[in-house]
Amino acid sequence: MKERGRIVGAGARVIAVMPDGQELRASLYERRRTSAGWEYRVGVTVWWTGSGGRPEPAEHRVWLGAGQVRPLEGGDYSRVPTRLSSMPAAFAGGRQAWTVQQLPHRPGHPGATLIHVIGCQPGGIPLDLDQTLDALKQPRAVTCRECNAASSLP
């Protein structure tokens, strides 16, 4: 893939949701937590007129909010750089909130449940404290190390 005329490596694959509801496949390059919530830097393939007047693919990178990015089934986000600010856990409606990610069963690896601070994993459905604690009681349920979800729980 080209970015401004140079070749770049692909990031984790996600769905970027446009304001009109259109869904585009995109590459997720990094995520950051700000005072306004989680943001995701994604790259979307666009076409431009290249050398010789021929159309060529190029990548446009932009920061999108948590509501505009969804994970793809089976996507691996473990290598996506994550920058956490010094602010406390993310908040939804003035209260702490979390999301649950179901990791599918694979040969040699049983399925698992991963609890995130809201916004760490794109597209999660918010849970309140009681729902989160119930989810953690299930077999093979753990908290995410990247967003330090364990420290946000009482």
> What is the residue-level pLDDT of the chain in tens, covering all 154 positions?
444 443 345 678 899 998 888 999 999 998 887 767 788 989 888 888 877 888 888 888 888 888 899 888 777 777 888 886 544 444 444 456 888 888 777 787 777 888 988 878 776 667 888 888 888 988 888 998 888 888 888 7
CATH number (domain holding residue 64):
2.30.30
Is the separation of the CB atoms in 82 and 30 below 8 Å? yes
104 shares its domain with 68: no
Among 11, 41, 73, residue at a domain's last position: 73
Q: What is the pLDDT of residue 15?
A: 92
Residue 115 lies in domain:
91-152
Residue 83 lies in a domain: no
- The one-character DSSP state at 127 is B
What was the pLDDT predicted at 16?
92
- Answer yes or no: is 127 within a domain: yes
| pTM, entire model | 0.52
pLDDT (0 to 100) of residue 130:
84
In a domain, 79, yes or no: no
> Pick from 17, 41, 73: which residue ends a domain?
73
Res 123: pLDDT: 67
Angle at the Cα of 141 from the Cα atoms of 97 and 12, rounded to 5 degrees: 75
Residues 50, 15 share a domain? yes
Contact 39, 65 (CB under 8 A): yes
Closest CA to 99 of 65, 154, 68, 136: 136
Specify if 38 maps to a domain: yes
- How far apart, in Å, are the Cα atoms of 51 and each of 46, 56, 57, 59, 144? 16, 9, 12, 16, 46
